[in-house]
Every structure is written in C-alpha cells, then in structure tokens.
Amino acid sequence: AYTPADLQLAIQHGELLNHYQPKVDLATGRVIGVEALVRWQHPQDGLVMPHHFVPMSEEHGLVGYLGVEVMREALRDLRRWLDAGHQLDMAVNVSLGSVSSLDYPDFLAEQAHAAGIPLHRLILEITESRLMDNPQVQLDVLTRLRLKQVKLSIDDFGTGYSGLAQLCDLPFDELKIDRGFVHGSSRNPALRAILDASLGLARELGLRTVAEGVETQEDWQLLQASGCDMAQGYFIAKPMPGSHMDDWLAAWE
Ligand code: G
Ligand code: G
Ligand code: NA
C-alpha cells in the first residue's frame, strides 16, 4: 500500500497523468467531450489505477492537491484539442473535499482563465454517495460553480444513498447512470427497470443523461431506444493517454 508521503513525492515528481475516455451523443454519434481519469506512472510498479491512491488521498487531506494537478493537465490538454478544432467539453472527477471548500469556485475560475478555458466547457463529476455529507456548504459551493457556468454531474447514480428529494434541490446538469445498471440491462429486467426509472427521473428534473459502462452494440441500441442522451464505455473507447486522443478523434470522425 502507498503512504501519503509516497503520493506527495509522486505529485512533486510529476508522476501523475491523466487518461481520457470519450463521451458520445447517442443520437448523432458525435463526441461531446472526454472524462479525465487520473493514473500514477510509478517508477517501479508501472501504471497504478486510482482506487490504489485516490481514497488514501481523500483520507489524508491530499485530494485537493491531487485535484489541482489533474485539473491543470486536463485544462492544458483541452486547450490543445480546442485549438485543433475539436469542440469538446472536459469532465473531471471531483472529491467531496473540493466541493466543501468555499474558495474552490474562485480558485477553479482562476485556474481555467489562466489556461484559456471558458468555464462552460468544464463538467465536475461528483459521486452520488458522497453528496450530502455537508449539505449546507455543498449547496453554496455548487451554486457558486453553477453561476460561473461550470456544469455539474451526479456520478455513479444508483449506487449512493442521497435522498431523491434532496437531489432535486442541488443545481445539477447531468446524471451519469452507474455501469452496474447499464451493461446487462438488455438481459436483466430488474436492471432494465432501474435504468428506465433513472432515465425518467432525470428527464423530469431536466438533467442530461449519460450511461457509463456501455460495452456492447446491444447496450448501445437499448440505451438509444430508452432515450438516454450520451454513452461512455469500452464499446466506444477505453480510457487512453492524452497523446492517443488526437488520433482517436480523427479516426472516429
Ligand atoms: O479508470 P478508472 O479506474 O479510472 O477510475 C476509477 C475511479 O477513480 C472512478 O470511479 C473515478 O471516479 C475515480 N477517479 C479517477 N480519476 C479521478 C480524479 O482525478 N479525482 C478523483 N477524485 N477521483 C478520480
Ligand atoms: O466512477 P467513474 O465513472 O469515474 O469510473 C470510471 C471507471 O469505469 C474507470 O475505472 C473506467 O476505466 C471504467 N470503465 C469505463 N468504461 C467501462 C466499461 O465499458 N466497462 C467497465 N467494466 N468499466 C469501464
Ligand atoms: Na466519473
């Protein structure tokens, strides 16, 4: 297991990097944006996945530091893709720690401005199960972000415990349905029922819907028929290094 000191050094040595996974419009097939997923290029252990170090960074107060690095790289890569003529949004996973800090919206605005990225191109994905730990501050921070045109996405929907009534009060733009309810829904009526209920709820609340974990043509067709807006998953592309994205985008178009 890695220690907070290991991670701190890794960040200082520039060993964190982002991979990106495309988000595609189900009706048109167009790429709407990409999601940044952090990795640690460890000098001995190779490419380390986030579950080995993101939860630890949250427990030890390092996730803000990690988040700044992920955002910096995401903004820089997005600027490059925009300059190449790709009209993309950038989704970044944000931990509760960031959303509970009243300084965060102004900090993010400065970081994006310095990178030449308009805030309406940013989507912050916040995991459902982590919402509501500190509802008052979160509502304040999320509202400030929304007023700055930053988009907000509820991640892993269906796996958390946030009250649906409270969800309506938060200023979200997008709902991402957890991959557990996506792949396999075509063969499992219970999963299909949860998927349809989630899509219906999102529609009622005016939220754009994204299905994660789209792995097969069957998944894709079912989601299209169900009226889901966007898809993400191995059927479209696995998360890839930023340097591969330029070629992938050209090939997809
Ligand atoms: O590819 P995958 O193993 O990357 O991602 C696993 C999980 O790690 C995802 O559920 C995602 O929410 C989380 N994750 C990936 N990148 C980041 C990040 O930059 N910040 C935070 N807080 N979580 C991340
Ligand atoms: O929680 P979040 O949505 O950020 O997590 C994304 C995670 O899901 C990453 O670990 C990513 O590698 C993984 N992932 C992305 N697409 C698929 C897919 O089609 N199937 C599966 N099983 N995992 C996926
Ligand atoms: Na996510």
Ligand nearest to the CA of 215: 2
Amino acid letter at 83?
D
Q: What is the pLDDT of residue 95?
A: 87
State if residue 95 touches ligand 1 by the CB under 6 angstroms criterion: yes
Q: What is the pLDDT of residue 91?
A: 98
Class of domain 1-90 as given by CATH: alpha beta
Distance 233 CA to ligand 2 centre (A): 7
Ligand nearest to the CA of 57: 1
Residues 208-241 have pLDDT tens digits of 999 999 999 999 999 999 999 999 999 999 999 9
Residues 68-107 have pLDDT tens digits of 999 999 999 999 999 999 999 999 999 877 888 899 999 9
Give the residue, 184 or 86, on which the prediction is more confident.
86
> Which protein residue's CA is at the shortest distance from atom 8 of ligand 1?
50
State if residue 233 touches ligand 2 by the CB under 6 angstroms criterion: yes
Above pLDDT 70, what percent of the chain? 97
Q: What is the pLDDT of residue 198?
A: 93
Return phi, psi of residue 202, to 5°.
-60, -40
Q: What is the average pLDDT across 52-57?
A: 95
Distance 48 CA to ligand 2 centre (A): 15
State if residue 21 touches ligand 1 by the CB under 6 angstroms criterion: no
State if residue 18 touches ligand 2 by the CB under 6 angstroms criterion: no
Give the domain ranges of the chain. 1-90
Q: Which of 7, 37, 63, 125 to mutate to test the pocket of ligand 1 (most atoms within 8 A of CB)?
A: 37
Structure tokens at 253: 């178009």
- The conformational region for residue 238 under phi > 0 = left, psi -120 to 50 = alpha, else beta, is beta
Q: What is the DSSP letter of 159?
A: S
Structure tokens at 241: 């290094």
Q: What is the pLDDT of residue 68?
A: 95
Q: How far apart are CA 49 and CA 40, in angstroms?
A: 7
ipTM of the complex: 0.96
Q: What is the pLDDT of residue 94?
A: 94
pLDDT tier for residue 132 given thresholds of 50, 70 and 90? low
> Which protein residue's CA is at the shortest distance from atom 6 of ligand 1?
50
pLDDT tier for residue 127 given thresholds of 50, 70 and 90? confident
Distance 214 CA to ligand 2 centre (A): 9
Residues 56-72 have pLDDT tens digits of 999 999 999 999 999 99
Q: What is the pLDDT of residue 122?
A: 98
Give the residue, 184 or 248, on which the prediction is more confident.
248
List own/partner pairs for 198-207 with CB under 8 A and 24 or more apart: 198/157, 198/158, 199/226, 199/227, 199/228, 201/164, 201/175, 202/175, 203/227, 205/167, 205/168, 205/172, 205/175, 207/154, 207/172, 207/173, 207/174, 207/175
State if residue 37 touches ligand 2 by the CB under 6 angstroms criterion: yes
Above pLDDT 90, what percent of the chain? 81
pTM for this model (two decimals): 0.96
Amino acid letter at 6?
D
Q: What is the pLDDT of residue 170?
A: 84
pLDDT tier for residue 194 given thresholds of 50, 70 and 90? very high
